[in-house]
Amino acid sequence: MRRTNIVTHSGRYYVVREDILPEAIIKTLQVKEMLRRGEAATVHEAAERAGLSRSAFYKYKDGVYELSELKRERIATISMDLEHRSGVLSKVLALVASLEGNVLTMNQSIPLQGYANVVISVDISELTGDLTALVETIRKHNGVRKAMVVGQG
């Protein structure tokens, strides 16, 4: 049975059959699995058992995941119109972080007529409360004219 993995590059994801992946990628996944299951106490021990150098493991560990690992992430995309004044965006980002949301990406337009559109992608898998409550809290924040969910996965 062939396993399928997802490999990330510059924010883009690819589904790649395991049999065509380089050996270092496969061994990196093995090391991560050993650590997750508690079969090895340290990266050094797991890498040694898999026949992979620690430097190769650290090179690839944040860029390769099994498909089942990625399913645990829940990502929401939120679009906001924010007043163009100092501190508004940073306070909104701090608010998201305070509720255990993790901002993954952010894109801001050039301000027009005193407002800038900001779109953020947020990992909401650890969010305190639900997404609706987060967006409502953002909407009530001083300097926010509009906030709404434009995508969720």
Q: What domains can be seen in the chain, in order of their start residue?
A: 4-70 (no CATH), 75-152 (3.30.70.260)
DSSP alpha helix (H) spans, 82-126: 88-98
Task: Give the model's pLDDT for residue 64.
Answer: 84
Spatial contact of 92 and 82, defined as CB atoms under 8 Å apart = yes
Spatial contact of 144 and 135, defined as CB atoms under 8 Å apart = no
Task: Give the model's pLDDT for residue 18.
Answer: 87
Task: Give the model's pLDDT for residue 72.
Answer: 54
**Ordered mean pLDDT values, 10 residues apiece, the chain (153 residues):** 50 79 94 90 94 93 73 80 96 95 94 96 88 93 95 77
Q: In what order do the strands lie in the sheet with 144-152?
A: 102-108, 115-123, 75-83, 144-152
pTM: 0.54
Contacts of 147 by beta carbon, 8 Å cutoff, 6+ apart: 78, 79, 80, 81, 135, 138, 139
